[in-house]
Structure 1
Amino acid sequence: MRLPGNTLGAFRAYFFGFFVCTAGFLFGYDTGIVGGILTFDSYKHDFGYTDKTTVSAVMVSLQNVGAFIAALGIFPISMRFGRKKTIQASMTLFCLGVILQVVPSHSLVCFYIGRVVSGLGLGGGTAVVPTYSAEMAPKEIRGMVGSGVQMLFALGVMLSYWIDYAVEITLPGQSKQWQIPVGLQLVPAAVLGLGLFTQPESVRWLAKNDRWEDAWESLKWMRASDGPEVKAEFNEIRAGLAEELRATQGFTKRELLEPANRYRLMLGIGMFMGQQCTGMTALAYFGPQFFKLIAGSDNQQSLLITGLFGAEKFVTVTIYIFFFSEMWGRKPTLWVSALLMAACFIIVTVVNQTTPKPNDKATPAGIATVAMIFLTNSIYQFSWGPLPWPYTSEIFPSRIREIGTSASVSTQWLFNFLFSLVTPYMMASWSSYTFLFYAILDIIMAILVWFFAKETKGKSLEEMESIFHSNAAFDVDAARRDVLKDDFDEVNVHHKTSDDRS
């Protein structure tokens, strides 16, 4: 598809969009390594614990607590210091937390503190990245690059699973077995934090802070052009911000209670709540434990299946992002996929409750249910995995985008915390009925999407005001046409003048 600017501008738009999604890679990598590390005898030996269920729940949930706090409270920092500096500070904090986890303290308390600190950095980064990406991406590919958070998340999960599998085989019983997977998190965090020095600040953040010259330079660099279409895009941003300021001078908390903004806030929160209610993030955290329930108790076998599960996750979400993200509507994709995932989980539950339980070796029924879980994973990667990220970043106007996105992403971390805390206990007491629980939640989410979600595919950030019937609604297409017409007229006048002189 044709983008504003030229080929270099298109490259920069794609590169930037996927590069900032490195925060999603960190989220995925951390999500993936946890389940494997908890099965390592070396980790149990170094920290000397016996209650596996409690340690599993606390290890995951503590980082989610830190991430929730940061995601909820990061927006004032992002508003004041900008998107780029906020993400860089978050990555610095994340690296500090990883160091606290890797040092050979032999203390679960020290490890837990590191989890909280890294969670603060991870939550801050993942909350700001969707806003940063949405404010810089052309509307034609905003869904694609916004979904890049989930693609990089899937890549992180996949690599973490295979790294866990590799150290399980090559470093049995050694402290390096768990330290290497944890310590490798420093690499992508440093790449993102340092790499942002080469990228511009958000155009819309600069514009909101009356730095119009810097905003124009940022947009011009990102699009690698100062032609009519880029000028029209800049004029659209200017008109949108001016209208928002005119409609409601001075931000107040009461502004969030306006019908249009209240609706959007609840919708953004609901999207990330639904993402966690699908059960797939819990499955990503505790993949080896889940697969032991349905495919046998062999640890290497469960890690191998988990690695294949991660590979499928990355391949399917990549296919969706590059071939289907801008083809399918957001709303139908979400409610249809929720029903399909519910059906798959119900089948898994029925098969596991009506066939003999697997022991050391997988049974035909176990293999069939693993295949069904893989199918559910593919459906998720084509829907609830990637879509909430661009959806929640595009529905809010500039005035409340920071707080709206932060509240939405913090909900993701809140429910991540909730399900990561209770899932180990659910697996211990409910066994495969855990899948039935998530099937019921999937059905509920499908119903809610059908009644309340709005379609946003292909709309500019400023056009969202009309979709949600905001008081600040305006005709941005008319503004774009006017600017293009003015530039066209200027070109014609120039040519006419030149011809007359000839």
Structure 2
Amino acid sequence: MKDSVTLGKVRAYWLGSVVCFGGFLFGYDSGIVSGVLTLDSFRDDYRYGDAGATRASSLSVSLQQLGAFVACFLAWPLTDKLGRKKALMLSSAVFIIGVIIQTINTHSLTAFYIARVIAGLGLGASTVVVPMFNSEMMPKELRGQVGSFFQWFFTFGIFISYWVDYGVAKNISDTDPSQWQIPIGLQLLPAGILGLGMFTVPESARWLTKKGRHDEAWKSLQWIRADSSQVTIDEMEEIRAGVVAEARATEGFQFKELLQGENFKRVLAAFAVFTAQQATGATAFAYFGPQYFKLIVGSGDRSLLVTAIFGAVKVVACGIFVLFFAERLSRRQVLIGGAVFMSACQIVTAAVVKSFPAPEEQQATVSPPAIATIALIYLFVVAYNFSWGPMPWPYVSEIFSPRIREPGVAIGVASQWLWNFVFSLTTPYMIASLGWGTFLVWGIFDLFIAGFTFFLLKETRGLSLERIAQSRFKAHSTSSEEWLEGPAKDTTRDD
């Protein structure tokens, strides 16, 4: 029995790692583009100078987010029809097409922008399917931890991308196109691992049951649990009962139901959670790290080095949280505490940068105020990766009833991409016009996020998807026990 439990955990971690290569892909792409846009070789090949740099940075990042936003609404019917595995394979293939076009030296920013949109379609679709797949296959004891793998892999992707940018900037000539083609083209590797990795894991047991493929569903659940005991048999029966209830519940589903009663509360919560994740300012740092650190250490390749170390801090912080704290801490409490701590870091950073602006040119040594500011930003990213980085992904995948789970998750993730697009479009202009004030803006946002979390978010740790679906989304609930005070009123059916 002990051996089967261990093997079950290994298989759960393997499945979570494979599907969360979508997070690695997301992170690598997020980090690589900001550094590439600072390379002289890229500017020369695409024929724009300092005057067009802000516009190129804004569009190169934001257009991909726009493609990802659109893909969220395409992914919902796609994953329902094809299953989780095939949907991720298709997402990977679309992303690869976009990367190949980006890597070709077309000398056309228009072609590069179109390729970014195509890659965004694949990336956005995968971010809808990954949390859904994870939540459906994980035992409730591991759901928060393995669900947080998405953010951990995201930080790995960012970490690798920053060091790749730094490496090509230091070791390849500014006149050689491979200086920017190598970091862009390397995106093919994680995309291939995601697509091909699907051959090593089973399809979602819940999806197979929904499609009436019960023998395959049982084999899938047996594989992921490494067990065929009565406990697993009972879980299979619970899944079948849940799917039957879901089939009755989703019969005649109409989009207007998402605006009714309990459904609307959950959709609004999902939308707000991912909006808040983007409004922390952490994603803006991921995309435009070199530009932010230029405000602190001045021009030169030092900003790329400081950004690369920033990526390493993200990986370590998120790894510690995922491995040791994800299933030990209240989802709600870490989100509140993280927002408060991030706000303090950002506001103090704004004050220091205003009082001690960076020199125009890179100096021989980094000043003490700059070192203090860098430390504050590193503390900020530690707090983010203990809270708003990993937690939204498992949280949003948990809160929906079966009737609206797929469109609900799609809307939640779509809001992530919508605000990702908004902030990636505006951040270069914020940095150019506000300077130190950009840090202050994020600090104020983080204060509002802490208040929103305190008053509106509910605890889900330790509960099965079926229990959460059957219970009321209570106002001001602060513990998982408060979900148990009665079934949610069904506002979508007359019977």
- So what's the TM-score if we normalise by structure 1? 0.91
Give yes or no for contact 1:4–1:229 (8 Å, CA) kept in 2: no
By how many angstroms is 1:244 displaced? 3.6
Structure 2 residue 386 is matched with structure 1 residue 382: yes
Q: What residue number does 1:261 align with?
A: 263
The separation in 1 between residues aligned to 2:17 and 2:403, in whole angstroms, is 25
Tell me which of 437, 441, 447 is aligned to 2:445.
441
The separation in 1 between residues aligned to 2:405 and 2:20, in whole angstroms, is 18
By how many angstroms is 1:356 displaced? 4.4
203-212 or 122-131, which moves further after superposition? Answer: 203-212
By how many angstroms is 1:184 displaced? 0.4
Give yes or no for contact 1:3–1:10 (8 Å, CA) kept in 2: no
Size of the aligned set, in residue pairs, is: 470
CA distance change for structure 1 residues 444 and 120 in 2, over 3 Å: closer, same or farther? same
SS of the residue corresponding to residue 465 of structure 2 reads coil
The separation in 1 between residues aligned to 2:217 and 2:145, in whole angstroms, is 23
221-230 or 113-122, which moves further after superposition? Answer: 221-230
SS of the residue corresponding to residue 87 of structure 2 reads helix
By how many angstroms is 1:206 displaced? 1.2
The separation in 2 between residues aligned to 1:292 and 1:40, in whole angstroms, is 14
SS of the residue corresponding to residue 139 of structure 1 reads coil
Task: Could you list the structure 1 runs, at least 4 aligned residues long, displaced by more than 4 angstroms after superposition.
Answer: 2-5
Q: What residue number does 2:19 align with?
A: 20
The separation in 1 between residues aligned to 2:92 and 2:36, in whole angstroms, is 23
The separation in 2 between residues aligned to 1:251 and 1:213, in whole angstroms, is 28
The separation in 2 between residues aligned to 1:358 and 1:416, in whole angstroms, is 30
Q: What residue number does 1:142 align with?
A: 143
CA distance change for structure 1 residues 247 and 177 in 2, over 3 Å: closer, same or farther? closer
The separation in 2 between residues aligned to 1:309 and 1:200, in whole angstroms, is 36
CA distance change for structure 1 residues 131 and 248 in 2, over 3 Å: closer, same or farther? closer
Give yes or no for contact 1:4–1:223 (8 Å, CA) kept in 2: no
Give yes or no for contact 1:256–1:262 (8 Å, CA) kept in 2: yes
Give yes or no for contact 1:5–1:229 (8 Å, CA) kept in 2: no
Q: What residue number does 2:407 align with?
A: 403
Give yes or no for contact 2:25–2:157 (8 Å, CA) kept in 1: yes
Tell me which of 230, 233, 256 is aligned to 1:231.
233
Tell me which amino acid in the other structure corresponds to 2:425: L
For residues 439-490 of structure 1, the C-alpha deviation after alignment (integer angstroms, 9 at most, x for no partner) is: 11111111111111010001111111244359xxxxx99xxxxxxxxxxxxx
Tell me which of 205, 213, 218 is aligned to 1:216.
218
Give yes or no for contact 2:32–2:184 (8 Å, CA) kept in 1: yes
SS of the residue corresponding to residue 141 of structure 2 reads helix
Q: Which stretches in structure 1 are left out of the alignment for 5+ residues?
A: 471-475, 478-502
Tell me which amino acid in the other structure corresponds to 2:395: Y
The separation in 2 between residues aligned to 1:4 and 1:290, in whole angstroms, is 49
The separation in 1 between residues aligned to 2:198 and 2:279, in whole angstroms, is 33
For residues 371-414 of structure 1, the C-alpha deviation after alignment (integer angstroms, 9 at most, x for no partner) is: 10000000000000000000011111233221111111111111
By how many angstroms is 1:423 displaced? 0.4
Q: What residue number does 2:480 align with?
A: none
Structure 2 residue 251 is matched with structure 1 residue 252: no
SS of the residue corresponding to residue 275 of structure 1 reads helix
The separation in 2 between residues aligned to 1:119 and 1:206, in whole angstroms, is 28
Q: Which stretches in structure 2 are left out of the alignment for 5+ residues?
A: 475-482, 485-495
Give yes or no for contact 2:295–2:357 (8 Å, CA) kept in 1: no
Q: What residue number does 2:477 align with?
A: none
384-393 or 230-239, which moves further after superposition? Answer: 230-239
Tell me which of 366, 371, 377 is aligned to 1:367.
371
355-364 or 322-331, which moves further after superposition? Answer: 355-364
Q: What residue number does 1:104 align with?
A: 105
SS of the residue corresponding to residue 286 of structure 1 reads helix
Give yes or no for contact 1:94–1:119 (8 Å, CA) kept in 2: yes
For residues 213-250 of structure 1, the C-alpha deviation after alignment (integer angstroms, 9 at most, x for no partner) is: 22112111221211011112112212222334445643
Give yes or no for contact 1:278–1:338 (8 Å, CA) kept in 2: yes
461-470 or 98-107, which moves further after superposition? Answer: 461-470
407-416 or 459-468, which moves further after superposition? Answer: 459-468
CA distance change for structure 1 residues 255 and 269 in 2, over 3 Å: closer, same or farther? same
SS of the residue corresponding to residue 459 of structure 2 reads coil
The separation in 2 between residues aligned to 1:198 and 1:337, in whole angstroms, is 36
Q: What residue number does 1:279 align with?
A: 281
Give yes or no for contact 1:358–1:366 (8 Å, CA) kept in 2: no
Q: What residue number does 1:126 align with?
A: 127
The separation in 1 between residues aligned to 2:107 and 2:9, in whole angstroms, is 49
Tell me which of 183, 186, 197 is aligned to 1:184.
186
Structure 2 residue 52 is matched with structure 1 residue 38: no
CA distance change for structure 1 residues 356 and 192 in 2, over 3 Å: closer, same or farther? closer
Q: What residue number does 2:487 align with?
A: none
The separation in 1 between residues aligned to 2:355 and 2:227, in whole angstroms, is 63
Give yes or no for contact 1:62–1:115 (8 Å, CA) kept in 2: yes
Tell me which amino acid in the other structure corresponds to 1:26: L
By how many angstroms is 1:254 displaced? 3.7
The separation in 2 between residues aligned to 1:3 and 1:435, in whole angstroms, is 50
Tell me which amino acid in the other structure corresponds to 1:430: L
The separation in 2 between residues aligned to 1:247 and 1:193, in whole angstroms, is 33
Give yes or no for contact 1:60–1:421 (8 Å, CA) kept in 2: yes
Q: What residue number does 1:355 align with?
A: 356
The separation in 2 between residues aligned to 1:466 and 1:448, in whole angstroms, is 25
The separation in 1 between residues aligned to 2:105 and 2:160, in whole angstroms, is 24
SS of the residue corresponding to residue 55 of structure 2 reads helix
The separation in 1 between residues aligned to 2:145 and 2:93, in whole angstroms, is 28
Query: In the TM superposition, what are the counterparts of 1:47-126 in structure 2 within 5 Å?
Result: 47-50=46-49, 51-126=52-127
The separation in 2 between residues aligned to 1:3 and 1:434, in whole angstroms, is 53
Q: What residue number does 1:460 align with?
A: 464
CA distance change for structure 1 residues 354 and 466 in 2, over 3 Å: closer, same or farther? same
Tell me which amino acid in the other structure corresponds to 1:176: S
363-372 or 148-157, which moves further after superposition? Answer: 363-372
By how many angstroms is 1:4 displaced? 11
CA distance change for structure 1 residues 228 and 384 in 2, over 3 Å: closer, same or farther? same
The separation in 2 between residues aligned to 1:92 and 1:468, in whole angstroms, is 40
Query: In the TM superposition, what are the counterparts of 1:328-347 in structure 2 within 5 Å?
Result: 328-347=329-348
Give yes or no for contact 1:94–1:118 (8 Å, CA) kept in 2: yes
The separation in 2 between residues aligned to 1:295 and 1:335, in whole angstroms, is 31
Q: What residue number does 1:473 align with?
A: none
By how many angstroms is 1:3 displaced? 9.4
9-18 or 142-151, which moves further after superposition? Answer: 9-18
Cα RMSD (Å): 1.7
CA distance change for structure 1 residues 447 and 158 in 2, over 3 Å: closer, same or farther? same
Q: What residue number does 2:431 align with?
A: 427
- So what's the TM-score if we normalise by structure 2? 0.92
Give yes or no for contact 2:343–2:442 (8 Å, CA) kept in 1: yes
By how many angstroms is 1:11 displaced? 1.0
For residues 148-181 of structure 1, the C-alpha deviation after alignment (integer angstroms, 9 at most, x for no partner) is: 0000000000000000010001102110010000
The separation in 1 between residues aligned to 2:23 and 2:372, in whole angstroms, is 31
Q: What residue number does 2:290 align with?
A: 288
The separation in 2 between residues aligned to 1:316 and 1:453, in whole angstroms, is 24
Q: What residue number does 2:396 align with?
A: 392
